[in-house]
Amino acid sequence: MRYLMNFNVIFTIVERGRGEAIVKAASEAGAEGATLFFGRGCGIHECKKILGIPIEPEKEIVMTLIQKEKTDAVLEAIVKSGKLNEPGRGRAFVLNVDKMVGAVHLEPEK
């Protein structure tokens, strides 16, 4: 089995309804796709209570698998699109991918 090893994954967490804009910005910056899923949670700028019960805001999480050489450009586009430099807008972080399979179109020719 061949493993691809020159990849990062960018996780972006934003308010529900803002994930599609992140996917579009990442795509325009060179990402070939993304996975969008839903979550709940709150940061220091968002935690609210009603009758003493904490309300956890709904989130969208965008997972973008990206070739390492494209990571900085895609991350910059995500930050700009999501206005992640402003408080309470969301977060993005990058993790190294040690091994990856399944992206057959990215495998080098035999």
List pLDDT tens digits, range 25-44.
999 999 988 999 998 776 65
Is 61 part of any domain?
Answer: no
**CA-based diameter of the chain, in Å?**
63
Is 46 part of any domain?
Answer: yes
Asked if 30 and 74 count as a contact pair (C-beta separation under 8 A), the reply is: yes
Q: What angle do CA 61, 82, 63 make, to 5 degrees?
A: 25
Per the structure, the count of domains in the chain is 1
Indicate whether 76 pLDDT > 80: yes
Indicate the angle between helix axes 71-82 and 19-28, nearest 10 degrees. Answer: 140
Is 13 part of any domain?
Answer: yes
Confidence of residue 58 (pLDDT cuts 50, 70, 90): confident
pLDDT number for residue 16: 92
Whole domain around residue 21: which residue ranges?
Answer: 1-55+69-85
Is 108 part of any domain?
Answer: no
Whether the model pTM is above 0.85: no
* 102 φψ region: left (φ > 0), alpha (ψ -120 to 50), beta (else): left
Residue 75's SS3 state is helix
